[in-house]
Structure 1
């Protein structure tokens, strides 16, 4: 296994998803510079187009859950802070996306693996690839983990602790504490994926997935919050 293959394995472990379609993953990690002066190679630009829309949807969805009483005019600035090239580049650095990228020799020598524009575009392409290879829930699980620090940076600490948020939601309505149960564990040992079900007395259970039990519990809590009235 060469250095880039190792970087891709590390990346999959960090995002909590092992790709079934390896060509799709390769395309998401391929910069357009690779096609210059060579035979046609599929790169990430089309995936980037889709990933931008998936990211926007997931961010808007989360903001609506966090701010149930806010008007559109108050939500739009927060959306802009969370869905932009610099935010995407920061996320890419946190998941160590750079070493897994496929760049031309010239782009690589010029420091392309740490260029914010390249990293931002590539992480959007990666979101699209996760969505296609998995589904919207898979993309959401990655998003909630990867963007947690971005939510915290705009002053929303609750984004880091949806389980506490759900607990407060339940207690505020006189309900027992939520109960979490692991219902499935899949994937290889180096990149497991957990499915967790959360139950709140009197309500339909919801499920979440993540690369750890804790992440899956958070994802399940988010699902419950998204489908119920937000906490007051």
Structure 2
């Protein structure tokens, strides 16, 4: 299967991709990663961390569906880290053509919410995902979930923005998103994770919970222990 980590112009997407990969491996899954962000930050992390759990292939190409996807081992969980969607629309379109599950990183702030729903420039991600249906074998867009990121403990903003996303905005006319109950907390140990080993408890617990939730939703296969 193939999981795509997407984001509008927000922070923490590659961090979530990497720490999710560690969590999938801890759960017993065989994992391979693909770096489709031109910054190649995930590939650099795998090179520098020393304990990254899998190989990371460079895959920042608008021919992802034609050139990368057919060569994957589809018995594994393949995870692709995409760049900001508004900056890499051709790559994102190609990924969406073949992906099984989209995880969309979003911080619970008004600027990030506006970039997702009504960007000043670029196509709203809901429309990008919806239009991919025409290119997919199923004729349907991929299953997509918002993962709220950098959530401050005790703050009201995660609940506020989860409600806006779930209910189609203030007036109910915007796209209604599925939002994961797992939230990634705002912690220095997570924010500083890129390039370093996953050897701190705060880098593990939220992502283990994410794997558990995705498994419960039926989007992950049974792990191979």
TM bin (shorter chain): under 0.3
- Scaled by the length of structure 1, the TM-score of the pair is 0.24
| Greater RCO (CA < 8 Å, at least 6 residues apart) | 2
Which structure has the highest strand share of the two? Answer: 2
Q: Which has the higher helix share?
A: 1
